[in-house]
């Protein structure tokens, strides 16, 4: 620890995407000494890739729209393991968060009345008794994530936020009482390793889609926050719940927004049939994402896939006309031409379900405070640790996230975490100093890599990890094959201990960062695998061939993965919203 430089803040936010920047803005504006630590320049964060929009009952498309309908859709979409107090909070304060974004400058598309344009998205209704398709997703063409992320960065520039750009967080520092007191981080440009002390540490590190071979996620989505939390002994919640987006471009994995179907596009099989009419007679192509993704795989498995290998289906858009496509889906036209060599104006786009979103994460309460289960199964708040956005599991998405709810989650809970931290700091949040050995502990990974002399390369281990997850923990899962997958992960874990960093240089050493990221991918993969094997039912995105039914008697619960014992326990789902009656579990049909 000698010679280790220390930086001091009241709060640090790890991650410069949507939730991190919303949290950082809240903290900076309230005068809390804050730094936002991000491994890429903020506008390179994965929020930038969100396309279709941000779902929220702002009553533009329908003046009678009601946030309670949005809440109902979200609860149903979650297959009833979304926490209803958190969903209530998100849907009710949502409009305020969206209007803030407009005031910040986000260039939303507009209606003739001058209001924000809203498009239909999957799983949207007008309440429990009215399955009429609603249009509730606020959009900036099909570049809403880009527009949102840039508006947030601009808001932070205006507010004077301190950014540590291109700094990589390695591991949490925990004091002897188990409180999180900061993080070890590397300045990528110089290679310097630094201890950043903070009273509050926010994990806003996004998802980990790169545990799979085929994903819509950016190359940077390596689950760094989840990895750090698990290594520190904290729990992961609902880690088996991974969303496979119905429309990833076949071969490339890049996303094609659900907004395509919202604007009137639909899926066809090799016989040219609009097959979603069979699987979801009412909502058709706008059923929940889990439902559509599974239907697509069924079509392919039954031999009605398209192309020479019959391994994908087609998304038909040409009937919408060139004008609509250029106005509403310009980015999609661009992506499709680049990655599928198809112009959607003329021909359908080849698509296949692709790993997209981690519904699970670090369990938190509404204020973003990280939670851990004690040995009696009671919730305990982890001192000093917070999480928001995809890295967190509040949980508003439960077993399946609705399209457009992730951007809302980011801004609502980024802000909420900021508010909570501001309050805690004002009330005198302090921790004991970390000891020298506490800091050493957090430095151990960097130290090991820096002194490696021989072993395997990062690339080979990463590829095997991704292939294992793809094969054994994909859209459909089965006990026996998951057991096999778990064995393979064990072997990969052994190889991981032996990864060799050949290049020991300091300046912008991306090989070192990639090796550190691989550890995080592995942590998340194991959590996913154990949780998937352990949840013996089918619910939302978790579909098992050996347990095909939802089992409310045993599994209307969150799963909690303990990284120390590698065991799974259960945690109650919240059915106690404050201002409305809870929505009881029902059969989920679209």
Partner 1 sequence: MLVSIYRYNPEKDQVPYMEDIEVEIPEGRDLMVLDVLHLVKAKDSSVAYRRSCREGVCGSDGLNMNGKNGLACITPLSDVVKKGKLVIRPLPGLPVIRDLVVDMSMFYKQYEKIKPFLINDTPAPAIERLQTPEEREKLDGLYECILCACCSTACPSFWWNPDKFVGPSGLLQAYRFLADSRDTATQERLADLDDPFSVFRCRGIMNCVNVCPKGLNPTRAIGHIRGMLLQRST
Residues of the shown chain interacting with partner 1 in the complex, contacts defined by CB under 8 A: 40-41, 43-46, 48-49, 58, 95, 98-99, 102-105, 107-116, 140, 143, 146-147, 150, 154-155, 157-158, 189, 218-220, 252, 254-255, 331, 334-335, 338-339, 457-459, 502-503, 505-511, 514
**DSSP β-ladder status, 349-358 and 313-316:** antiparallel
Residue indicated by tokens 């004008």: 323
**Distance from C-alpha of 173 to C-alpha of 184, rounded to nearest angstrom:** 7
With respect to partner 1, which residue has the nearer C-beta, 147 or 229? 147
CA 580 to centroid of chain Cα atoms:
27
Rounded CA-CA distance 97/111 in Å is 20
Of 289, 294, 535, 544, the active-site residue reads 289
Minimum Å gap between C-beta 522 and partner 1 is 18
Minimum distance, C-beta of residue 422 to partner 1, in the bound complex (Å): 21
* Minimum distance of partner 1 from residue 176's CB (angstroms): 38
Q: Which is nearer to partner 1, 107 or 307 (CB)?
A: 107
Nearest-approach distance from CB 79 to partner 1, in angstroms: 30
Q: Which of 270, 343, 338, 347 is nearest to 308 (CA)?
A: 270
Q: Is the CA virtual torsion 433, 437, 440, 445 positive or negative?
A: negative
**292 in Cβ contact with 267 (< 8 Å):** yes
Tell me the C-alpha distance between 398 and 132, whole Å: 23
Which are the contacts of 490, defined by CB distance < 8 A and separation ≥ 6? none
Give the count of beta carbons closer than 10 Å to the beta carbon of residue 586.
Answer: 10
For the record, the structure tokens of 118 come out as: 């809203």
Provide, rounded to whole angstroms, the least separation between the CB of residue 245 and partner 1: 14
Name the token pair of 2. Answer: 């000698």
Pick 200 or 516: Cβ nearer partner 1: 516
Backbone angles phi, psi at 49, to 5 degrees: -90, -10
Nearer Cβ to partner 1, position 84 or 144? 144
Compute the least distance from the CB of residue 263 to partner 1, in Å. Answer: 16
- Whether omega before 395 lies within 30 degrees of 0, making that bond cis, reads yes
Q: Which residue lies nearer to partner 1 by CB, 35 or 434?
A: 35
**C-alpha to C-alpha distance for 462 and 515, rounded to whole angstroms:** 9
Least distance CB 384 / partner 1 (angstroms): 29
The total number of residues written for the chain in this structure: 590
Q: Taking the mean position of all CA atoms in its chain, how far away is CA 526?
A: 17
Query: Per DSSP, which regions of 394-518 are E strands?
Result: 476-477
Q: Which is nearer to partner 1, 64 or 505 (CB)?
A: 505
Min dist. Cβ of residue 105 to partner 1 (A): 3
Phi then psi for 265, rounded to 5 degrees?
-70, 160
DSSP string, 165-179: ETEEEEEEEE-TTS-
Q: Closest distance between partner 1 and the C-beta of residue 424, in Å?
A: 28
| C-beta of 166 vs 299, nearer to partner 1 | 166
Is 495 labeled as catalytic in the residue annotation?
no
Q: Are 192 and 186 in contact (CB under 8 A)?
A: yes
Would you say 41 or 302 has its CB closer to partner 1? Answer: 41
Q: Do the beta carbons of residue 527 and residue 536 sit within 8 Å?
A: no
- Annotate 79-123 with DSSP letters as a single string: TT-S-HHHHHHHHHHHHHHHHHHHHHT----B-TTSSB-EEE-TT
**DSSP state letter for 258:** T
* Nearest residue (CB) to partner 1, 406 versus 441: 406
Task: Give catalytic residue positions.
Answer: 289
């Amino acid at each position: 620890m000698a010679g280790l430089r220390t930086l001091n803040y009241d709060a640090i936010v790890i991650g410069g995407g949507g939730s991190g920047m919303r949290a950082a803005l809240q903290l900076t504006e309230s005068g809390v000494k804050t730094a936002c630590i991000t491994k890429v320049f903020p506008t390179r964060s994965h929020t930038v890739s969100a396309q279709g929009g941000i779902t929220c009952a702002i009553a533009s498309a329908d003046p009678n729209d009601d946030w309670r309908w949005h809440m109902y859709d979200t609860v149903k979409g979650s297959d009833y393991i979304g926490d209803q107090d958190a969903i209530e909070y998100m849907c009710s304060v949502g409009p305020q968060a969206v209007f803030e974004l407009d005031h910040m400058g986000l260039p939303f598309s507009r209606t003739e009345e001058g209001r924000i344009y809203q498009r239909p998205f999957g799983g949207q209704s007008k309440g429990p008794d009215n399955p009429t398709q609603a249009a509730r997703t606020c959009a900036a063409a099909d570049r809403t994530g880009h527009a949102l992320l840039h508006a947030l960065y601009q808001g932070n520039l205006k507010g004077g936020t301190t950014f540590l750009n291109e700094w990589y967080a390695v591991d949490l520092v925990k004091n002897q009482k188990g409180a999180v007191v900061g993080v070890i981080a590397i300045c990528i440009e110089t290679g310097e390793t630094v201890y950043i002390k903070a009273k509050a540490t926010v994990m806003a590190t996004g998802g980990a889609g790169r545990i799979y071979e085929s994903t819509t996620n950016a190359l940077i989505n390596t689950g760094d926050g989840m990895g750090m939390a698990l290594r520190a002994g904290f729990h992961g919640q609902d880690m088996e719940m991974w969303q496979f987006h119905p429309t990833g471009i076949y071969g490339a994995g890049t996303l094609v927004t659900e907004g395509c179907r919202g604007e009137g596009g639909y899926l066809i099989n090799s016989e040219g049939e609009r097959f979603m009419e069979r699987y979801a007679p009412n909502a058709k192509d706008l059923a929940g994402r889990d439902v559509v993704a599974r239907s697509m795989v069924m079509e392919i498995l039954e031999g009605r896939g398209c192309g020479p290998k019959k391994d994908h289906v087609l998304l038909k858009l040409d009937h919408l006309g060139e004008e609509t496509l250029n106005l509403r889906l310009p980015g999609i036209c661009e992506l499709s031409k680049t990655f599928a060599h198809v112009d959607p104006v003329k021909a359908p786009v080849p698509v296949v379900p692709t790993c997209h979103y981690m519904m699970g994460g670090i369990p938190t309460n509404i204020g973003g405070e990280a939670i851990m289960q004690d040995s009696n199964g009671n919730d305990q708040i982890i001192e000093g640790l917070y999480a928001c956005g995809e890295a967190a599991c509040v949980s508003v998405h439960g077993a399946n996230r609705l399209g457009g709810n992730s951007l809302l989650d980011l801004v609502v809970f980024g802000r909420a975490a900021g508010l909570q931290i501001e309050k805690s700091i004002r009330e005198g949040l302090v921790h004991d100093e970390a000891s020298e050995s506490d800091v050493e502990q957090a430095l151990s990974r960097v130290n090991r890599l820096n002194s490696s002399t021989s072993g395997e390369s990062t690339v080979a281990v990463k590829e095997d990890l991704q292939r294992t997850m793809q094969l054994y923990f994909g859209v459909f899962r089965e006990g026996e094959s998951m057991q096999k997958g778990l064995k393979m992960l064990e072997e990969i874990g052994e190889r991981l201990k032996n990864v060799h960093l050949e290049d020991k240089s300091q300046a912008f050493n991306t090989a070192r960062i990639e090796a550190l990221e691989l550890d995080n991918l592995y942590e998340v993969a194991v959590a996913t695998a154990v949780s998937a094997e352990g949840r013996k039912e089918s619910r939302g995105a978790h579909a098992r061939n050996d347990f095909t039914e939802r089992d409310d008697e045993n599994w209307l619960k969150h799963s909690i993965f303990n990284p120390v014992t590698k065991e799974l326990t259960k945690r109650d789902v919240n059915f106690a919203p404050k201002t409305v009656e809870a929505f009881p579990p029902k059969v989920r049909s679209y």
